[in-house]
Each structure stands twice: as structure tokens, then as C-alpha cells.
């Protein structure tokens, strides 16, 4: 969701900006733009659509040592050239990129800017016009920028250039992610270290409310109270090869294929030579009387599986909460609650607003995320890293299975401390190794899955996934995967619930995918399959070898039943992938979606 890049002090500014924006494409966007200044003249280029469309209109004569760039995911105003960033002031002196949502923009417009002619419908334009307004009142640019930042409410990451003094980038953030990268004779800004990792691996963490003035050889950080402070950079350990597609046609396919390796990595990191989990974290969880898992989308679905694992292995009750709901309707909490935030990106605004409240209540929390040093990572009491490697495709795959595996690690250590019999008997290292093998077996069957997808979903506009217990959790994740990238309207359902209403939607040839991995309910789900088949449904069964019938289409190897989702979701990920491909969709960047959802 919106990406920012900027550089000061490099001759090939234009190339660095475009390259950086390409690395941020995964976040989701619908227009893009750059502003480059050579000390005399500035060039602004903006376009709707993809970076490749922007590149086509960038001419060779555009050059300069300073520039900012942006990918915009429309919130206020349609994705048009006028609404794309950088936005500029009426006098065309100031250029600004912005990530986030300014909530009081209408009020600021009527208070300060009633005489200004606006050219866009964005909230962002108010911010840049305000800088110009305060500059005309006699303030220098640093003070005008600081004044603007002090007035805007909501979430923001800003990068601003003053074309009359084009050797500095003015930077600020609140709630939205933004990093400053430190180079030798140059400095950069970016929403994600990935965008600039080929320039530098030294980054500065920015706190909400801070302002940075960035020149090519120096930077000044001002805290909330306008006091200049110093801060050391940290090294980002990111291999540029991890963010390349290699020989794969799409990131999603690469990331599905990486899942067995991720299982092995998690096992090696957390379970080799004893158990490598923060003892204080384990003690705090074991002393809690209820665990609240807070998450959104696919991470929420991983939390539903985590609930089963944690309750069985620790005997501590677990509630799984949709972040965007929970934050505004906090139920009566238990006496000793413990919060787990599941988030691939570590930046999801819906989850973060809950964490802010949890911190205000001084309650303990754990963030399980793929992005070390992300906002939720920094702001929670404890942290566990997913170790899945960068996930670039918008549709989450390897982060989902890693989230399940990490919750299993936590459940195992907490349950062991609490003398839970299931936890004591669980050989998690062995189970994760079996999961990796089971995943690999499915991954090796890609051709079969491709042709199944064709036979099953061709010309279909609606589909259902059904299951019970953890299979229900996998059903709703599988349905999300199919709908988000194939645009087939898909619902995940508790298998027994269909007959209470939804079965009226089953028609001749309606695709229904059924999961059968839960020993307690395998036979009941078979009954539900018969019910939909009797009404014409075309059923595809994904079953564990223990309960499979000879004519089931996909048969999975068997592991501990609580962990079976690690394997059973993989065929569903591949069905979604091939359905999207077959329909000619943009698999990695489906329409309207963003990878890192930094607005509420």
C-alpha cells in the first residue's frame, strides 16, 4: 500500500528511484510518479497503471542528484495522474510524497488554504500546500515542514523537496512505515529496506513524530519536542537474491515452493540444540489465563489454526480476533490476558491500533512477524520471527504456513513448561520435517494440479471450500486465496453449516472443494459431500491418506492432525495460482489489493 523512495547525492537518481519503486510494487498500487531536480530545474513525471507505464514517459534528459518517487494505492480520489504523487504546491516550489491518510485535511483546507487552487482530490495535496503557505508567511522550509507536520492528524510518512533549495529531503512519519538509509556520500529514504538494499544495508529507525532533514553527507533528526538527537544506524541483513524471482514466472509460485525449506529453517532455528525461545516470553504466556490472537486476513486464518494448537498443547483458552473489529469493540478481557499479534508485514494498521491500546493497558504482547524491526515488532513486549524470507506476492502463502509453525513452537514450549501431556509427547522437530516432506510431495504434483484446476474451475463464477475443525480454518484460507487472485467468488464454509441455508446456491457443476483431515468428523464431511453432489455439485476432495477413498483427487501424507493444515493448504494455494493464471490475471499483484495494508 503506497510506497515511498527518495535519494540525495547520487548521479543516477532516476534509475535508483525506478528500481526502488519496482521493488515496492508488491505492496499494491494503481499509479506512480517521480520528481527529480538537478539544482536548476525539476522534472515531475506521473502515470496511472504500472511502473513500466511510467518508465515509458520518462525522457533521457531528466537527471539530477536528488529525487523522490511514489507508488499510490488510491484512498482519497481515483487513480488518476492528477491524484498520483508527488503532489506539488500551487507555486510549484514544493514536491511531496505521502503514505497514509490525513484525517483532518478538510478542516486544514478551510482554516488555512481557502485561497489556494487545488488540482487533485487527495488529502496529500493539503500537506504540500500547507508547507507553501507557511513558507509564504516567512518561515524557512524546515520550520514550514515542521509546522505542517504538527498540524496534520492521522497516519503519514512524508518526503518533501524544496525546488529552490534542492539538496535536502525533509522526512517525517507517524504510524506509517519509513526508513532512512545511510550511504557513503548519499542518503536514501524508503518504505521498505528491500527498495534500497542494493544501495546500502545501513538504516535508521524513525519513531513516530520525528522529523529528519537529509542531505547527501549528513542528516539531522529532531524528536517530538523539536530537540536534535543522534541515533546509530543498524545493519539490515537482506540478501538481494531473496527478492528476485529467479527463474520463476511469478513470486507466488516461488513462495509456494519455498515452504518446505521454511519449515526446515524454523525447525533448525527454534528447535535445534534444545529450544531457542525467549524464556521470559514462555513464562509470561504460561502464567496468562487467556490468549488473544489478533490479526487480519490470511494471518487471522493462521490464528484460527493456532488456537487449536495452543489450546490443545497448553490448556490455556484462546480467542482469535479480527483486528479491525476488536480494536473498536474490545470485549471484557480476562484477568491475565496475553496478546499475540500475527502479521506477515508487521505494519498492518488494523492490528497496530489494537497493539497501541494493549500497550496503553500495559498488557504483555508478542508479535509474530516476517519483518524484523517492523512497527509491530518494535512496539510489542516480545517478538518471534517467521523466518520465511521476503514474501513479495500479494497472496500470502509461505508466511501463512510459517505462522502456523511458529505458533506450534510456542505452544510446544509453553505446554511443556505446564506439563501438558500432548505437548510433552509432541516431537515437533519430527513433525515439521514430515510437514516439509508432505508439502514437497504436493509441490511435485504441479502438473496434475494445473490440469485439475482447468477441469474444475473453467467457466465457473462461484466456488465453495468446506471442512470441519482445522479443515474449516483451511477452507476459509483456501477460499480467500482463490477469490483474491482468480476473482472467482468463493466462500469457505463449515461443512455442516451448508445445509442451514447456503446449500441453496449449489447448482449443476458448482465446484465444491472438501477437506477431510479431521479424524473426529471425516465421516460427517463425507455425508456433506453426498448432500452437495445430490444437488449437482462437482466435488474435489483433498483428504489425508488415513481417511482417503480411492477416488479422492488429492491425497495428503499424514502428520499430527493439529499440524495437517501445513500440508493441506498447499494444493489449495496451487489451485488458486493456476486458476488466476488461466484467467490471465496479474497473479502477484491482483487488482485493488495491497501487500502491506497501512491504513485502517
DSSP 322-338: EHHHHTTS-----SSEE
Closer CB to ligand F6R, 126 or 296, in the complex: 296
If the CB atoms of residues 25 and 484 are measured against ligand F6R, the closer one turns out to be 484
Give min distance, CB of 309 to ligand F6R, in A. Answer: 18
293: its cell numbers: 490472537
Of 2, 173, 429, 483, the active-site residue reads 2
Instruction: Tell me the closest approach of the beta carbon of residue 399 to ligand F6R, in angstroms.
Output: 7
Q: Which is nearer to ligand F6R, 68 or 195 (CB)?
A: 195
The total number of residues shown for the chain amounts to: 600
Burial class (CB in 10 A: 0-12, 13-18, 19+), 558: middle
**Shortest distance in whole angstroms from residue 408 CB to ligand F6R:** 18
Which residue shows C-alpha cell 524508503?
Answer: 190
d(C-alpha 498, C-alpha 527), whole Å: 12
In this complex, which beta carbon is closest to ligand F6R, that of residue 404 or of residue 539? 404
CA–chain centroid gap for 433, Å, is: 27
> CA-CA distance, 460 to 41, in Å (whole number)?
54
Instruction: Tell me if 526 sits within 8 A of 467, measured CB to CB.
Output: no
Using the minimum distance from each CB to ligand F6R, give the nearer residue, 358 or 555: 358
CB of 27 to ligand F6R, least distance (A): 11
Q: Round to whole Å and give the CA distance between 27 and 73.
A: 9
2 is catalytic: yes
Please enumerate in sequence order all residues whose Cβ is within 8 A of that of 397, keeping only pairs 6 or more positions apart, or say none: 252, 255, 256, 259, 391, 481, 573
Q: How near is the Cβ of 265 to ligand F6R at its closest, in Å?
A: 19
> What's 118's DSSP letter?
P
| H/E run at residue 509 | none
Secondary structure of residue 147 in the 3-state scheme:
helix
Residue 541 half-sphere exposure, CB side, CA atoms within 13 Å? 23
Peptide bond into 86 cis (omega under 30): yes
CA-to-CA distance for 32 and 46, rounded, in angstroms?
Answer: 6
Q: Which is nearer to ligand F6R, 96 or 395 (CB)?
A: 395
- Identify which of residues 28 and 67 has a Cβ nearer to ligand F6R in the complex: 28
Taking the least distance from each CB to ligand F6R, the nearer of 120 and 374 is 374
Pairing of strands 382-385, 234-235: unpaired
Which residues contact ligand F6R by CB under 6 A?
A: 296-299, 343-345, 348, 351, 395-396, 480, 484, 597
Of 288 and 343, which has the nearer Cβ to ligand F6R?
A: 343
**Minimum CB separation from ligand F6R for residue 341, in Å?**
8
Query: Is position 595 annotated as part of the catalytic site?
Result: yes
Which residues make beta-bridge pairs with 42?
A: 37
Grid cell listed for 324 = 479491525
DSSP string, 425-462: H--HHHHHHHHHHHHHHHHTTHHHHHHHHHHHHTT-SE
DSSP assignment letter at 259 = H
| CA atoms of 118 and 14, how far apart (whole Å) | 27
C-alpha separations of 389 from 75, 343, 369, 398, 512 in Å: 29, 14, 11, 9, 33
Q: Minimum Å distance from CB 208 to ligand F6R?
A: 19
Least distance from ligand F6R to the Cβ atom of residue 403, Å:
8
- Give the angle subtended at the CA of 249 by the CAs of 247 and 251, to the nearest 5°: 95
Cα(35)–Cα(97) distance, integer angstroms: 9
Which residue in 412, 429, 483, 595 is the catalytic one? Answer: 595
* Least distance (Å) between residue 28 CB and ligand F6R: 10
Tell me how far, at minimum, the Cβ of 343 lies from ligand F6R, in Å. 3
Cα angle for residues 245, 249, 252 (degrees, 5° grid): 70
Q: Which residues are known to be catalytic?
A: 2, 595
Amino acid at each position: 500500500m503506497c510506497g515511498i523512495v527518495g535519494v540525495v547525492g547520487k548521479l543516477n537518481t532516476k534509475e535508483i528511484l525506478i528500481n526502488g519503486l519496482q521493488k515496492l510494487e508488491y505492496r499494491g498500487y494503481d499509479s506512480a510518479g517521480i520528481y527529480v531536480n538537478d539544482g536548476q530545474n525539476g522534472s515531475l513525471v506521473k502515470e496511472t497503471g504500472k511502473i513500466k507505464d511510467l518508465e515509458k514517459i520518462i525522457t533521457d534528459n531528466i537527471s539530477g542528484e536528488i529525487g523522490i518517487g511514489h507508488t499510490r494505492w488510491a484512498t482519497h480520489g481515483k487513480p488518476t495522474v492528477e491524484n498520483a504523487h508527488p503532489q506539488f504546491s500551487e507555486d510549484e516550489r514544493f514536491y511531496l510524497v505521502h503514505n497514509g491518510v490525513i484525517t483532518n485535511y478538510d478542516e486544514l483546507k478551510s482554516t488555512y488554504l481557502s485561497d489556494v487552487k487545488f488540482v487533485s482530490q487527495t488529502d496529500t495535496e493539503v500537506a504540500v500546500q500547507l508547507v507553501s503557505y507557511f513558507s509564504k508567511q516567512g518561515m524557512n522550509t524546515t520550520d514550514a515542514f515542521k509546522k505542517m507536520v504538527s498540524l496534520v492528524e492521522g497516519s503519514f510518512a512524508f518526503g518533501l523537496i524544496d525546488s529552490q533549495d534542492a539538496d535536502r529531503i525533509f522526512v517525517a512519519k507517524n504510524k506509517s512505515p519509513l526508513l532512512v538509509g545511510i550511504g557513503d556520500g548519499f542518503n536514501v529514504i524508503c518504505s521498505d529496506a528491500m527498495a534500497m538494499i542494493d544501495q546500502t544495508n545501513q538504516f535508521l529507525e524513525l519513531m513516530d513524530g520525528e522529523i529528519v532533514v537529509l542531505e547527501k553527507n549528513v542528516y539531522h533528526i529532531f524528536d517530538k519536542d523539536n530537540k536534535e538527537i543522534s541515533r546509530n544506524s543498524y545493519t539490515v541483513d537482506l540478501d538481494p537474491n531473496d527478492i528476485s524471482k529467479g527463474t520463476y514466472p511469478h513470486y507466488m509460485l516461488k513462495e509456494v515452493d519455498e515452504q518446505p525449506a521454511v519449515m526446515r529453517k524454523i525447525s533448525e532455528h527454534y528447535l535445534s540444540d534444545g529450544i531457542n525461545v525467549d524464556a521470559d516470553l514462555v513464562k509470561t504466556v504460561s502464567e496468562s489465563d487467556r490468549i488473544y490472537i489478533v490479526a487480519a486476513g490470511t494471518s487471522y486464518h493462521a490464528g484460527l489454526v493456532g488456537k487449536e494448537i495452543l489450546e490443545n498443547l497448553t490448556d490455556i483458552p484462546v480467542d482469535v480476533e479480527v483486528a479491525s473489529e476488536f480494536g473498536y469493540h474490545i470485549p471484557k478481557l480476562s484477568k491475565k490476558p496475553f496478546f499475540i499479534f500475527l502479521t506477515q508485514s508487521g505494519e498492518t494498521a488494523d492490528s497496530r491500533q489494537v497493539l497501541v491500546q494493549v500497550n496503553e493497558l500495559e498488557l504483555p504482547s508478542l508479535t509474530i512477524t516476517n519483518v524484523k524491526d517492523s512497527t509491530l515488532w518494535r512496539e510489542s513486549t516480545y517478538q518471534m520471527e517467521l523466518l520465511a524470507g521476503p514474501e513479495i506476492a500479494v497472496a500470502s502463502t509461505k508466511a501463512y504456513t510459517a505462522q502456523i509453525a511458529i505458533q506450534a513452537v510456542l505452544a510446544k514450549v509453553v505446554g511443556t513448561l505446564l506439563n501438558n501431556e500432548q505437548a510433552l509427547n509432541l516431537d515437533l522437530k519430527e513433525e515439521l520435517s514430515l510437514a516439509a516432506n508432505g508439502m514437497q510431495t504436493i509441490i511435485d504434483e504441479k502438473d496434475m494440479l494445473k490440469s485439475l484446476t482447468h477441469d474444475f474451475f473453467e467457466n465457473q463464477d462461484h466456488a465453495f471450500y468446506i471442512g470441519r475443525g482445522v479443515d474449516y480454518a483451511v477452507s476459509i484460507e483456501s477460499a480467500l486465496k482463490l477469490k483474491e487472485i482468480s476473482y472467482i467468488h468463493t466462500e469457505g464454509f463449515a461443512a455442516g453449516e451448508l445445509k442451514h441455508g447456503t446449500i441453496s446456491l449449489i447448482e449443476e457443476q458448482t465446484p465444491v472443494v472438501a477437506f477431510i483431515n479431521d479424524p473426529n468428523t471425516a465421516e460427517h464431511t463425507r455425508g456433506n459431500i453426498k448432500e452437495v453432489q445430490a444437488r449437482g455439485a462437482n466435488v474435489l476432495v483433498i483428504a489425508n491418506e488415513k481417511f482417503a477413498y480411492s477416488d479422492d483427487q488429492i491425497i495428503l501424507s499424514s502428520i499430527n492432525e493439529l499440524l495437517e493444515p501445513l500440508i493441506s493448504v498447499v494444493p489449495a494455494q496451487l489451485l488458486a495460482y493456476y486458476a488466476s493464471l488461466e484467467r490471465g490475471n496479474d497473479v502477484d499483484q491482483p487488482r485493488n489489493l495491497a501487500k502491506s495494508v497501512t491504513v485502517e
